[in-house]
Amino acid sequence: MILHVDMDAFYASVEERDRPELVGKPVIVGGTPESRGVVAAANYVVRQFGVHSAMPSATAFRLCPQAIVIPPRIAYYAKVSSQIREIFERFTPLVEPVSLDEAFLDVTGSESLFGPAIEIARRIKSEIRATLRLVASVGVAPNKFLAKVASDLKKPDALVFVAPGEIQAFLDPLPVGRLWGVGRVTGKVFERIGIQTIGEVRRMSVEALQREFGRQGEHLWQLAHGIDDRRVIPDREAKSISHETTFAIDQTSSEVLRAWLLDLVEQVAYRLRRGALRGRTVNLKLRFSDFRTITRAQTLAEPTDITHEIWNTVASLLDVALADGNFAVRLIGVGVSGFENLKEKQLSLFPDESRARDSRLDSVRDQINAKFGKAALNRASGLQQPADHKRAVSPEELADDS
């Protein structure tokens, strides 16, 4: 059985935990309207006004003028994420992080030690609440897709169990938008052909879906039948480390995209260093409003785990991908592959001093942020003051602005 654990309003919840006076008030983690920033996270109070993550801050403040804005502390949230992961690993070594606030766990081999998967889920929720004073939603199901859908159904503080024999009863009544890959454009196609629920999709033939959606049709057919054969892959076995985010509303601002890209780079670089990994290939993934998906990659001369290098590379890839200025982006992601284990790295006779400096800078920041959570404001400034889209700006330059 697979668990999908998703921390509820993670960034905002961490801030509320550390500053109890914020509880019950509308809280936005992100940039100010004056800085043309974006919403990185919104607590459940401010969501009642229609505010959501990835929304421009100016829009959020028009919806809720009384909202309290807090600058993001990405590295501090990464420290809390590591503490959450330590709880996961008490129950299973098969933990696949999806981002700082969510992960898949394969607990199939753990049930003989800790009881049924639903009990493991309850214990994980309980330990996160007791130890870290945070709330997690958990979906328990036979595969990743079902577990992800389950965890999202009754947030916050959800615990939803999908038994192997109840998959279709669980999926059929759900709106078609719950299927991975069904966005605004795909949703309009389903609306045109009169399909509203997953059950109605399930009753369509593969051929009919392929006529409407091309190669995506078979994917949709499989999901509608609850089929997802992907396994949970821990970092140590992964061929790449990546993070991506899907926007509630398609993004047409390069500044917003760059701000989110920097956030993703921070998470990827942190996981690389945590796993003692360096990668040679940097990847950018974009999915547009028409569901066209592109990937762009650049292979570096040397493997890296350095935030500065990953950021400069992927920011340049983004500039090229959006060069025509006519885009609406639904998803953005960044990844690093082509690993070299740091423990097996051969030392150079002539080390690059600038790379060594950047590596030391990352190491020192990781240590300081893990202990105090203060320096994280530097790199998170990418969410407060998005860089000029005409050139790549490093986290170090952003840090100098704070």
Catalytic residues: 102
CA dist list (Å): 277 to 209, 253, 270, 343, 348: 41, 33, 10, 9, 17
Residue 16 to residue 37: CA distance in whole angstroms = 21
Element (H, E) at 262: helix 254-274
Q: Distances from the Cα of 142 to the Cαs of 14, 71, 102, 163, 197, in angstroms?
A: 30, 38, 18, 7, 21
Cα separations (Å) of 161 from 94, 148, 156, 170? Answer: 19, 11, 15, 10
Structural tokens at position 399? 């840090």
What the block records as the tokens of 75 is 């590295």
Give yes or no for a contact between 285 and 246, defined as CB atoms under 8 angstroms apart.
Answer: no
Tokens (6 digits) for 304: 């890296």
Please state whether 115 falls in left (phi above 0), alpha (psi between -120 and 50) or beta.
left
63, 262, 263, 333, 393 from 387: Cα distances, Å: 25, 10, 13, 18, 6
> Distance (Å, rounded) from C-alpha 202 to C-alpha 224?
5
Cα-trace Rg, the chain: 21
